[in-house]
Amino acid sequence: MKTIHVSVVTPDGPVYESEVEMVSTRAQSGELGILHGHIPMVAPLQIGAVRLKKGSSTELVAVSGGFLEVRPDKVTILAKAAEIEEEIDISRAEEAKKRAEMRIQSKQDDIDFKRAELALKRAINRIEVKQHKI
């Protein structure tokens, strides 16, 4: 099976780079599965996991929104923030989750509520990726 080159890049630098058989992730328009030879496209990404299939194993990268650019032999993900499983600090994510839940429960204005909801999604995504649950 032909492979596709994947790189995940953030404003802080590269996070992941590898040849993989398939890239699966959630774009804002829905679930995407990308194999070698996919038509070129650009899509905004949701907060979620990028699943990278390599042989019998699947690696996960937690991505906090951004863009995916597909070319027939290459996928580039430009993310606001992204972490491979090994880089995720689970206690930090659990703390961020608690803070966000408290903000959501307390009656604050709409802007704070939306920010807290996004923070909660980022935290849950990191926890799920770390636990390899996705």
Binding flag, residue 92, ligand ATP (CB under 6 A):
yes
Nearer to ligand ATP, 35 or 118 (CB): 118
The pattern of x and - marking residues 2 through 41 that bind ligand ATP according to CB under 6 A reads ----------x-----------------------------
CB 132, CB 86: distance < 8 Å: no
**Other residues' Cβ atoms within 10 Å of the Cβ of residue 71:** 13
Q: Who contacts 104 (Cβ-Cβ below 8 Å, separation ≥6)?
A: 113, 116, 117, 120
Site for ligand ATP (CB under 6 A): which residue of 52, 77, 126, 129? Answer: 126
Helices (H) and strands (E) in the chain, counts: 2, 8
How near is the Cβ of 59 to ligand ATP at its closest, in Å?
16
